[in-house]
């Protein structure tokens, strides 16, 4: 086994094609978790144009690529999953049956530690370093939208009835409701970014779009139209104006949900929920198998989902002082965060406090 490490710009067209082909065949060969667009070469290359330290390890056997391992690296050899904190699927892209030694891979990459927070299932050499696993809800539409809607009506009849009624009321009160599954107007993307940025501040969360590189990344991916990774802006219009929008990434099999937001002036109509139902319908029409709503417990995800995937967080290490120091620094932070998120009696007060602080900041 030969492992070469490359800068993103040095990856050959042949290697990129092999990576894409490997991902396209994943669901046919028993590894559907690798079909997520966050694991596509386009996402890694886009991150590489925005952030330093991005590298790609290519594992070859008899000269042919059998695995691709993208990562971000600091000068001290601390490695992070590509897009850590942004990406909802992480891991090593590989041929079916490929086995690897995690520490050997880290050594070849010059890493003392590799941290992840959305490791997909089936990555056993990395899973030994997992500190916790978490549900990532999905909407299955492989059998068509009507089959999904029938399942939703059975499982959540009141939610389904209320959401569809609100869509009709929106049309009566405001104007014609129109859905565009693949909007190509960059002005609407800017509107969505503005809504999302305001939502982060309003709810007391860190505003991701306050970081210029994240805005630049999303704008890049909006124009990406690769087979295994395409930017998808979906918009719900009413009376000729956008009232809800979502930007995510699409592969042949998966729509990875990422940045949803809506105009708060229309909050009583639940336009975000209406939008997600229309997204499910549009994805089903395009042959997508499922929408990945991403890790994180939210009421709307519980209402819309059909099942859960599982993702893990943690790190794999080599015996090195830098690795020990990284674990000592990061472990308490992650443990505290996960404790708060997993316990309603802690999360509720924390969430209310953040929203109160966000409201105060907004007024000032």
Q: What are the pLDDT digits (tens) for 268-326? A: 999 999 999 999 999 999 999 999 999 988 999 999 999 999 999 999 988 766 655 65
pLDDT at 29: 74
Please determine, for residue 40, whether its predicted confidence score (pLDDT) is greater than 70. yes
Predicted confidence (pLDDT) at residue 336 exceeds the cutoff of 60 = no
State the DSSP code for 62.
Answer: T
Looking at the predicted structure, is the pLDDT value of residue 364 above 60? no
Per-residue burial over 221-257, b if 16 or more Cβ lie within 10 Å, else e, is: bbebebebbbbbbbbbbbeeebbbbbbbbbbbbbbbb
For 167-183, what is the mean pLDDT? 97
Q: Would you give the end-to-end CA distance of the chain in angstroms?
A: 59
User: What is the rounded average pLDDT of the residues 199-203?
Assistant: 92
Query: What pLDDT score was predicted for residue 347?
Result: 47
Query: Is the pLDDT reported for residue 147 higher than 90?
Result: yes
Question: Does residue 209 have a pLDDT over 70?
Answer: yes
pLDDT, mean over the chain: 90
What whole-number distance in Å separates Cα of residue 35 and Cα of residue 347?
Answer: 33
Residue 350 confidence (pLDDT): 47
For residues 287 and 252, is the Cβ–Cβ distance under 8 A? yes
């Amino acid at each position: 086994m030969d492992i070469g490490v490359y800068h993103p710009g040095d990856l050959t067209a042949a290697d990129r094609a092999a990576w894409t082909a490997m991902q396209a065949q994943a669901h046919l060969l028993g590894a559907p978790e690798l079909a997520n667009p966050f694991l596509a070469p386009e996402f890694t290359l886009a991150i590489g144009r925005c952030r330093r330290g991005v590298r790609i390890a290519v594992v070859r056997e008899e000269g042919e690529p059998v695995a691709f391992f993208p990562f971000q690296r600091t000068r001290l050899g601390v490695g992070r999953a590509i897009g850590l904190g942004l990406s909802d699927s992480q891991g090593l892209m590989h041929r079916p049956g490929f086995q690897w030694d995690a520490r050997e891979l880290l050594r070849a990459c010059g890493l003392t530690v590799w941290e992840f927070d959305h490791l997909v299932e089936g990555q056993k050499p990395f899973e030994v370093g997992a500190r916790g696993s978490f549900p990532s809800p999905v909407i299955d539409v492989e059998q068509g939208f009507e089959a999904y809607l029938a399942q939703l009506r059975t499982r959540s009849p009141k939610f389904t009835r209320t959401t569809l009624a609100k869509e009709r009321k929106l049309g009566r009160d405001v104007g014609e409701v129109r859905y565009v599954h693949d909007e190509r107007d960059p002005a609407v993307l800017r509107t969505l970014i503005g809504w999302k940025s305001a939502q982060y501040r309003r709810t007391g969360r860190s505003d991701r779009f306050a970081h210029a590189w994240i805005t630049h990344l999303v704008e890049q991916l909006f124009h990406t139209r690769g087979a295994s990774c395409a930017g998808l802006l979906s918009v719900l219009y009413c009376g000729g104006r956008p009232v809800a929008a979502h930007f995510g990434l699409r592969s042949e099999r998966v729509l990875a949900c990422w940045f949803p937001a809506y105009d708060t002036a229309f909050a009583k109509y639940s336009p975000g929920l209406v939008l997600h139902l229309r997204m499910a319908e549009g994805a089903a029409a395009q042959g997508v198998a499922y929408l990945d709503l991403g890790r994180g417990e939210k009421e709307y995800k519980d209402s819309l989902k059909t099942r859960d995937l599982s993702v893990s967080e943690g790190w794999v290490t080599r015996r090195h002082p830098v690795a020990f120091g990284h674990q000592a620094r990061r472990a308490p932070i992650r443990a505290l965060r996960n404790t708060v998120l997993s316990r309603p009696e802690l999360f509720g007060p924390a969430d209310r406090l953040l929203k109160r602080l966000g409201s105060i900041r907004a007024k000032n």
